[in-house]
Amino acid sequence: MQIIREWFRRHFSDPQVIILFFILLGGTVAILTLGQIMAPVLASLVIAYLLEGLVGFLERRRIPRLAAVLIVFLTFMTFLFFLLLGLLPKLSYQIGQVFGELPSMFGRGQQQLMHLPEKYPEFISQEQVVALVGFLQTELGRMGQRFFSFSVASVRGLVTFLVYLVLLPLMVFFFLKDKKSILQWITRFLPDNRDLTEHVWRNVDRQIGNYIRGKFWEILIIWVTSYLVFYLLDLRYAMLMGLLVGLSVLVPYIGVTVTTLPVALMGFFQWGFSSELLTLLIAYGIIQLLDGNLLAPLLLSEVVHLHPVAIITAVLIFGGIWGFWGVFFAIPLATLVEAVIKSWPSINNKSDSLDAS
């Protein structure tokens, strides 16, 4: 008990630490209990936070805030319309084509697999190929059922999507335009003595902002590069495969591993075991090597570097809580936790760190 009391006194004796603890606890409970109900507000808040960096950049160039907000918001709306009217229909069409051609792709792949025992009898037998084909047929049937269920759920969620489409831009605009008044209203309910909380928020804001900006450019560069490489190699559905590779960088280690399978299968179904498939895999490997060893360190050099175990744990925890969106935001949330942990003891002993910051 003495050890526990000593630990509690060392970490929670400062009133500012108690204030920070309850703010974090209240925010976590609110998100867990009201996350689904407040999803449009939370999504708008995240988007406004991302756009605030551009608004601040224009303000530092002596552009009035309202004008900066209008410029950034109109740019965001243009990008949104491009996604909805230009990119999304093409991707949806390609996804539908992929699912429509799965049986024929599977047939071509099955023919390729059946020739393996003849070419490499010392490595694979006919029984192993039959077992593999049976497993793939079962998985293909399950995938079709999931796709049908997803389509029905998407039809049911169409109204929700339209509501989001109207509400999100409105809330993003007001979050940007009325940022100061909203923050002033919120701070009315917080204690006056909150220097530690503000210090932690500055660290978190810097880390999350650097991470999100770096990841945005990393996704865009990898997406465009992968699309161009796949297009030049004449891979079918190059846009869709390029998008998958681009989004895979959101979850380090896991994303690359998961995305390798659809890229390899698409090449196998198109070319079989051939030099074209080998060229595709080599090109894909080069893209991942350049991303991991050059692009990511360059764009994310100022971000907290998380251990692979911490990344996998964050994906499992947040994915288990919020599903797809938990996986999507797992690394930013883990970065937030890391920044809070690193900032917590820096001011716990004395207020010197506050003055230094």
pLDDT band at 303 (very low <50, low <70, confident <90, very high): low
Q: Are 177 and 69 in contact (CB under 8 A)?
A: yes
How is the chain split into domains, by residue range? 195-351
Tell if the pTM clears 0.75, that is, is over it: no
Question: Between the ranges 84-88, 133-137, 272-276, 283-287, where is the mean pLDDT highest?
Answer: 283-287
pLDDT digits (tens, 9 = 90+) for 40-85: 787 788 888 888 888 888 988 889 999 999 999 999 999 888 887 8
193, pLDDT greater than 50: yes
Closest CA to 300 of 224, 233, 206, 229: 206
pLDDT digits (tens, 9 = 90+) for 114-141: 776 777 777 777 777 777 777 766 766 6
CA distances from 124 to 186, 271, 274 (A): 66, 21, 18
CA separation for the pair 208, 50 (Å, rounded): 10
